[in-house]
Amino acid sequence: MNIVIFGPPGAGKGTQSNLIVKKFDLHQLSTGALLRKEIKDNTNLGKKISSIINEGNLVSDEIVGNLIEKYISNNIYKGRLIFDGYPRNLIQAKNLNRLLKKYNQKIDIVLKLSVTLETIKKRISERKDLEKRTDDSEEIAIKRFVTYEDNIKPVIDFYKQSNLLKVVDGEGSIIEINDEISGLIEGI
Ligand code: AMP
């Protein structure tokens, strides 16, 4: 099965994806992690995108579209991807459908993690010390939250129309949220 998980920065997408991957033998495709790796490895792409990411803006649809196609087109991952952080806007949501169709696949469930800005600030300030991400300052976290809110509404409507959307309360503990998500996946 292919799963999409989205939510604002600090909602727990990465943590939950990681747990789901282990439980259901899937592969986590985190566009944020892939982009951060490009920066860390100082590739041409990394040099191009580092200021965009550090300022809390979105990287171009074309760049992230190319990154995810590499995975969708790879038979190893066929029907076992969890899209963590993609799509972020309607263009990307439509592109994901197009790519999955191209490689004879589909999305089975879309999970939206809902959390308040207060919780996000708290989680990001905790994560800052652990992961040392350059985009985890409070100022940039708020900017990323606003970017998320500005773009995500049409994505939510898009997946509601296809009856794939499940909203998960992201305020609970990691285990509580994971139990809820696992139940939803098992119910597919
Ligand atoms: P994340 O790890 O999902 O919080 O993403 C970190 C940063 O990577 C975001 O703030 C964006 O700058 C960039 N990014 C990740 N995924 C995407 C995407 N699907 N589209 C555009 N930019 C992205």
**29, β-bridge pairs:** 83
Which domains are seen in the chain, by residue range? 3-183 (3.40.50.300)
Q: Give the type of residue at 147.
A: T
Average pLDDT score over the chain: 96
Calculate how far, in angstroms, residue 180's C-alpha sits from the geometric centre of ligand 1: 25
Calculate how far, in angstroms, residue 140's C-alpha sits from the geometric centre of ligand 1: 13
- Say yes or no: CB of residue 148 within 6 Å of ligand 1: no
pTM across the whole model: 0.96
Helix (H, G, I), strand (E, B) or coil at 30: strand
- For residue 170, the model assigns a pLDDT of 96
**86, β-bridge pairs:** none
- Say yes or no: CB of residue 56 within 6 Å of ligand 1: yes
Counting Cα atoms < 13 Å in the Cβ hemisphere of 7 gives 25
Calculate how far, in angstroms, residue 86's C-alpha sits from the geometric centre of ligand 1: 8
- Say yes or no: CB of residue 53 within 6 Å of ligand 1: yes
Task: Give the model confidence (pLDDT) of 118-146 as tens digits.
Answer: 999 999 999 988 998 889 898 999 999 99
The CA distances from residue 121 to 21, 41, 96, 124, 125, in Å, are: 26, 29, 30, 5, 6
- For residue 30, the model assigns a pLDDT of 97
- Say yes or no: CB of residue 32 within 6 Å of ligand 1: yes
Per-residue DSSP letter, 166: E
Q: Which atom of ligand 1 is nearest to the CA of 147?
A: 10
Question: Tokens 């994505």 belong to which residue?
Answer: 155
Per-residue DSSP letter, 10: T
Residue 169: which residues within 8 A CB-CB, separation 6 or more? Answer: 114, 177, 180
Task: Give the model confidence (pLDDT) of 19-75 as tens digits.
Answer: 999 999 999 999 999 999 999 999 999 999 999 999 999 999 999 999 999 999 999
- Say yes or no: CB of residue 85 within 6 Å of ligand 1: yes
- For residue 105, the model assigns a pLDDT of 98
Q: SS3 for 116-134, per residue?
A: CHHHHHHHHHHHHHHHCCC
Question: What string of DSSP letters covers 58-105?
Answer: PPPHHHHHHHHHHHHT-GGGTT-EEEES---SHHHHHHHHHHHHHTT-
Calculate how far, in angstroms, residue 176's C-alpha sits from the geometric centre of ligand 1: 26
Calculate how far, in angstroms, residue 111's C-alpha sits from the geometric centre of ligand 1: 17
Nearest-angstrom CA–CA distance, 99 and 55: 29
